[in-house]
Amino acid sequence: MTIQITPLEAFNDNYIWAIHNDQHCYVVDPGQSRPVNAYLENKQLTLSGILITHHHHDHVGGLVELQHQHNCPAWGPDDDRIDGDVRRLSEADWVDMDTLNRRLQILFIPGHTLSHIAFYNDDWLFCGDTLFSLGCGRMFEGHPAMFVESLDKIMALPDHLNVYCGHEYTQSNGRFARAVEPDSIALADFCRRVDIIRKSNQPSLPSQLGTEKKINPFLRCHNPIFRQQLESQLNRPINNAVDCFAHLRQWKDEF
C-alpha cells in the first residue's frame, strides 16, 4: 500500500499536505477547505483526519468546515485559539493514522507561535511555519532561546527525513541565505536547482533535513565558523547560538 504526500496549493503560497493511499486521506494545515475537497473528489478519497501545526488562520481556516462535511477527527496544539473538535496534543503524544497504518509523533516547537507543534515519523516531518527550506518562520510569539531550542529538537532528527513546510518560501529564503553565506557553493547549487524547479511551477518541497542542516542559516547557529563569519559581516560580537539566531532573525525581518 503506497502512501503519497501531495501539496495542495492554498492562498498565495501555502501548502496543505495531503497524505493518502488510493482510498484514505489525511490533511495537514487546511487553511482552506476548497482545495482539499477538490482533491478528495478528483482522487475519490475519504478524509480520515486533519492535523494542525499552529493556530494561524492560513493553517486552520478550513478546519471547521471540513470536519463538519467529513465528520473526521482532528489533532492539534493545546490552544484555545483553534476552533473545532480538536484533540489537543503535547510532546509525549502521538497520532495514529489508522486508515494508513502509520503513526506520527509530536514535537513541541514553540517560537513562531507559543503552541506550535510538528508531526514526524521515520520518514516525514511536518513542521508548519517553524522550519522552512533555507529559512524559518517569523518569531511572532516566542523569543530567540525558545526558537533555538525548538530548532535543536528538529536538528536531533535523522538526516533522511523529508521536510514538509507550510509555505513555498524557498526562493526568497535562498536570496537571504546567499547574502549570509555568499561563498557557499553547496547553497548556490541548491538555489540554482530550486530556480529550475520553480520555473516549471513545481513545488520546491519536500526538502531533506540533512541538506537543511548543512545550508539553512537558521540551523547553523551552533557552528562556530558560521558564527565567526556572521560576526565579521554584521561587525558586532555574537556570543552564542541564541545570540546568533536573534541577529539572523532580525536581519531576515529587515531583508
Interacting residue ranges for Zn ion, rule: CB under 5 A: 56, 129
User: What element of type H or E holds 219?
Assistant: none
Is 123 annotated in a binding site? The answer is no
Dihedral, 95, 100, 102, 106 alpha carbons, nearest 10: -30
User: What element of type H or E holds 173?
Assistant: helix 170-180
CB of 71 to Zn ion, least distance (A): 27
Is 55 annotated in a binding site? The answer is no
CB of 218 to Zn ion, least distance (A): 15
Q: What is the CA radius of gyration of the chain?
A: 18
Using a 10 angstrom Cβ sphere, with 0-12 exposed, 13-18 middle and 19 or more buried, the burial of residue 224 is exposed
Q: How far apart are CA 17 and CA 164, in angstroms?
A: 8
Is 195 annotated in a binding site? The answer is no
Q: Which is nearer to Zn ion, 26 or 169 (CB)?
A: 169
Q: Which is nearer to Zn ion, 141 or 149 (CB)?
A: 141
CB of 115 to Zn ion, least distance (A): 11
Q: Which three cell numbers stand for residue 56?
A: 494561524
Is 160 annotated in a binding site? The answer is no
Is 112 annotated in a binding site? The answer is yes
CB of 181 to Zn ion, least distance (A): 26
Is 68 annotated in a binding site? The answer is no
Q: Which is nearer to Zn ion, 77 or 174 (CB)?
A: 77
Q: Which is nearer to Zn ion, 56 or 252 (CB)?
A: 56
User: What element of type H or E holds 223?
Assistant: none
CB of 139 to Zn ion, least distance (A): 11
Cβ atoms of 1 and 98 closer than 8 Å = no
- Residue 85: left (phi > 0), alpha (psi -120 to 50), or beta? beta
Cβ atoms of 125 and 118 closer than 8 Å = yes
CB of 15 to Zn ion, least distance (A): 12
Q: Which is nearer to Zn ion, 13 or 85 (CB)?
A: 13
Q: Which is nearer to Zn ion, 70 or 249 (CB)?
A: 249
Strand, coil or helix: 144: helix
Strand, coil or helix: 165: strand
Residues linked to residue 167 through DSSP beta bridges, in sequence order: 14
Strands (E), 121-214: 124-128, 131-132, 135-136, 162-165, 207-208
Is 59 annotated in a binding site? The answer is yes
Residue list for the binding site:
54, 56, 58-59, 112, 129, 167
Residue list for the binding site for Zn(2+):
54, 56, 58-59, 112, 129, 167
